[in-house]
Each structure stands twice: as structure tokens, then as C-alpha cells.
Amino acid sequence: MAELSEVLKQATGVLAARGEGVHLIDEEGRRYLDFTAGIGVTSTGHCHPRVVAAAQRQVATLIHGQYTTVMHRPLLDLVDRLGDVLPAGLDRLFFANSGSESVEAALRLVRQATGRPNVVAFHGGFHGRTVAAASLTTSGTKVRSGFSPLMGGVVIAPFPNAARYGWTAEQATEFALQELDYVLQTVSAPADTAAFLIEPVLGEGGYVPATPDFLAGLRERADRHGILLVLDEVQTGWGRTGRFWGHDHFGVRPDVLITAKGLASGFPLSAIAAPAALMQQAWPGSQGGTYGANAVACAAALATVDVITEEGLVANAAARGAELRGALEEVATRHEQIADVRGLGLMLGTEFRTPDGAPDGAAAAAAQQEAARRGLLLLTCGPWGEVVRFIPALVVTADQITEGAAIWSDAVAAAAG
């Protein structure tokens, strides 16, 4: 008999047997309201009938085409369809299987295209667990520790994290831009800097939205110095934030967009998108992979785009997100240990602090565990695990938001004792 490695952490203890929309059902038949969505992946809900039908059709037709050997119809159709939802001008795509792989692909592209070695990433960012992606990740040392030496050519600059310092958005923006200029003057000269790589909303690092002025400042510096602006929208894409892309909130134009998670409703698929003139500078044959753009994953992604656009899921994320936020804020007024409620759309977090203002991972975990016992599945994030996050599928209804919020209210009260 073999066993799973202990290295895998289990957030809920649930043995999932089936998924239906916003619910997971365990082997005993107990139903859980799933506000984790497989870490923000199953945005169309578990097993959406149109995604299931598309995948079933494809699985019986062609499972593995292998896109560096032959082209296949699901990939061509998906590329065509993505043109409707990608930011204007980002019309060249490359596909891989995971967020981390697409981060690596973006890194390879910006280094090859600019001939410059360094990338500036931002403090609290999460970009994945492969060596390059972990090197760019500073959401917590657990991703980096015991894995050194990590990749060189990475410089970390401050993120405009107003919540962390108790600052206004303006103060946080001014500080972060000043420090970025200092970094460009003292650590990585513009001529050595290939790209700025940033999440529009810090995900694993604690659900902290960037500010419009900060992203505008990055864009301006990027244009001035020939530096590329890479947005990691692995967690913020596909309607999660109440707009199709996270950056739609900020009015900033990326040079490279990284996407994964919500793209294929749970099938492993990720992509980078960039303008043709940039993508053509990738060295021929330098990007690829055995499983990239798997035919079943592409068929599922195509159905996912249709469901998101035709069923109005982006608008639903905005409306349900506003309701959930209101409910979370109401709970916060009754519990002093909840220091902040923040996020965009259906990407919301609630931060716990001790009475003396320190991040309180233990209190967040206690509330999250209590919620799981009461049938509401949640995850934590943040460097100390101090933030409980709420990321239901975008198909969530108003009644399900009310039900989830009521469980949350009881769970926080019970955990506080």
C-alpha cells in the first residue's frame, strides 16, 4: 500500500466525490457550499453541463493532438474565439498547462525579446512553484525555502500595499513608485530590465488590489525605458474580479498577459498573450511542451468562454461580489479581530489581526475550519495565513451568497469563542 506524501497540505479535510455548480458533495453525501472553486479555477461551477458536453465530445474524438506535431481543431477554434475577449492588440497566443509554466514562458519571451536579463517583480506576489516562478514569488517563504539558489535576475520592489501599513491608496502608490525609481537607479538599470511583472490584485499574498495610479506609473516607466509590462492574471482573469480581466479595473494596457485557472473550468490549460510584433521575437522552437493546448482542455476552454459570455457571468460576479462584500463588512463590524475586508468582484478577503495589530493566521484558520465544519469551504492566504478568502464560482446565486454569509457569521462567532 502506498500513501500520499505529507508535503501536501489539506485545507478542508473533505473527500470530494462529486461537484455540482457551487457545491461539492463528499463520499457520505454531505453537501458543501464551495467558496474555493478549486483555488479560483472552476468559475463556471463544478461540471457545468456545457463544459461537460464539450469535453465528452472531444474525449471521444481526439484526446492528444500534440501541438508541435500536428494542429487540431479545438486549439484553432479556441484561438479564434479568444480574440473576442483578449485585450486589443494581444492577438498572439502560446499555450501551456499551468500558471507556473506560462509565467516561465512569459519570462523566456521578455528576456529573448529585449536581450535584457532582469525582471522586477513586486513584494507579496505569487507566480508559481517552478524555479523561475518561485524566484518571482514573495507571498511567503514556504514557496522559496529549501529551494535555493533560486534564479538570478529577479529584483523585488514594493507593491502599493495600503492595507499593510494602514496608509491611503495615494500614500501607498507614492511610496511604491518612489521605491521603484530607486530600484531602477540602484539595483537594475532600465537598460538591464526586461520587464515589470505584477498581479493586478495580489492573490496568494493576501488579496490586495493594486492602485490605478501605480499601474499607470509602471506603464509610463515601461514606455519610457523600453521595459515590458507583464500582468499575471492567472487568478484575476475570466471575470473573477467582476470585469473580464483584473486590469480592466485599472485602465492599464499590458504587453504580455498571463492566464490560466478560470480559462478551462478545471482542465489544465494556461496561456500567454502578446502582440504579434513582440511574440515574433521569441526564438523559434524555444517554447513548447508535450501536453500544451491539450485537445480536451481546449474544447473545455471554448465552452467556458461561451458560458462566461453568454450566461452573463462577469456581471453576476460584480453583483454577487457586491452583496458578499456587504455581508462580510457587516460581520467585520461585530468582530474586532477582522481588520479589513477587501478585494474586487468575487475575489474577496477578510484579514484577521490580534488586538495589538499583528497578522493573526491562527484566528483566520480557526474561522476557516469552523466554516468548513458548518458546510462552507474557504481558503486562507497572506504571508501569515491571516486572510480568509471568498472565491465562489461565478455562477453563484444571491441565495447562495446569503447562505454562505450566514455560515461565515456563525463560524467567526464560534471560532472567537
Q: Which residues bind ligand PMP (CB under 6 A)?
A: 39, 98-100, 103, 126-128, 199, 203-204, 232, 234-235, 260
Contact call for residues 304 and 265 (beta carbons, < 8 A): yes
Q: Which of 127/243 has CB closer to ligand PMP?
A: 127
Q: Which is nearer to ligand PMP, 1 or 7 (CB)?
A: 7
Tell me the C-alpha to C-alpha distance, in Å, between residue 393 and each of 316, 329, 401: 10, 20, 11
Determine the Cα–Cα distance for residues 300 and 78; give it in Å rounded to an integer: 9
> CB of residue 248 vs ligand PMP: minimum separation in angstroms?
16
Query: Residue 155: beta bridge partners?
Result: 120
How are beta strands 379-381 and 201-202 bridged, if at all? unpaired
Q: Which three cell numbers stand for residue 269?
A: 490549460
Cα–Cα distance measured from residue 373 to residue 411, given in angstroms and rounded to the nearest whole number: 9
CA 202 to the chain's CA centroid: 8
Residue number of the CB atom closest to ligand PMP: 99
Minimum distance, C-beta of residue 374 to ligand PMP, in the bound complex (Å): 26
Cis peptide before 149 (omega within 30 of 0): yes
Query: Of 106, 111, 158, 100, whose CA–CA distance to 134 is shortest?
Result: 100
Find the shortest distance in angstroms from Cβ 100 to ligand PMP.
3
By beta-carbon proximity to ligand PMP, the closer residue of 370 and 385 is: 385
- Of 128 and 209, the one with the shorter C-beta distance to ligand PMP is 128
Task: Pick the closer one to ligand PMP by CB: 126 or 250.
Answer: 126
> Interior CA angle at 101 toward 106 and 153, to 5°?
50
The CB-of-204 to ligand PMP minimum distance in angstroms stands at: 6
CA distance linking residue 181 with residue 190, whole number of Å: 10
Closer by beta carbon to ligand PMP, 344 or else 405: 344
